[in-house]
Chain A
Amino acid sequence: NAGVTQTPKFQVLKTGQSMTLQCAQDMNHEYMSWYRQDPGMGLRLIHYSVGAGITDQGEVPNGYNVSRSTTEDFPLRLLSAAPSQTSVYFCASKRQGARYSNQPQHFGDGTRLSIL
């Protein structure tokens, strides 16, 4: 059981370049989310999705786009990378619904992104 898989693990970009961070889960979880983690700031929610075709903004959405065409995949796009987006990005998934309120959120291993 792979769980939540993120690719790539490391990436270096130049300012203005675009790229997509990939996230896939094989647990049939409805809820998926993207966080960024910066020193001293904890995990901040970027975007989330409650199912295929449904996405919404989190706390820090500016500069990022998402889409959810399938239950399994939830890619995060940086359209024009900026140095302020240098961070560690985590994708997470969870079963959704009141009956699953005692179920944990599963995290991927993270993508370490540096923008020069």
Chain B
Amino acid sequence: QQPVQSPQAVILREGEDAVINCSSSKALYSVHWYRQKHGEAPVFLMILLKGGEQKGHEKISASFNEKKQQSSLYLTASQLSYSGTYFCGTAYSGAGSYQLTFGKGTKLSVIP
């Protein structure tokens, strides 16, 4: 089952913050976040393993709530370069924990 991402799309002005959510109906082993610009391959942002850890990458950070089976990606003080579609990829506990299932994506547009 695909994880559910919300919102589907968001428009920000430079400097504004955004949160993208990723929810699963199955127990999660890990959550991967990727950003894809139009016509390009997805680019890796970060991985979160079960345990509720939070990670950061420049002004982009993420959290993983194992009990709620969800992850959130936080973009602070957005820049024009943050525009793109963000995907979460989830790996489920048990056999096949290496296999990623991706959500449908959240399109983020940052405008001046």
Contact = CB atoms under 8 A, between A and B. Distances in A.
B89 A101 contact: no
Nearest to B88: A42
A42 B89 CA distance: 10
Contacts, number: 55
B35 to A, nearest CB: 12
Contacts of A35: 102
B87 A43 contact: yes
Interface in A73-103: 90, 94, 96-98, 101-103
Interface residues of A, number: 28
A108 to B, nearest CB: 6
B41 A107 contact: yes
A72 interface: no
A105 B89 contact: yes
Interface of A: 31, 33, 35, 40-45, 48, 50, 58-59, 90, 94, 96-98, 101-110
6 contacts: A40-B104, A42-B87, A94-B98, A96-B98, A101-B49, A103-B47
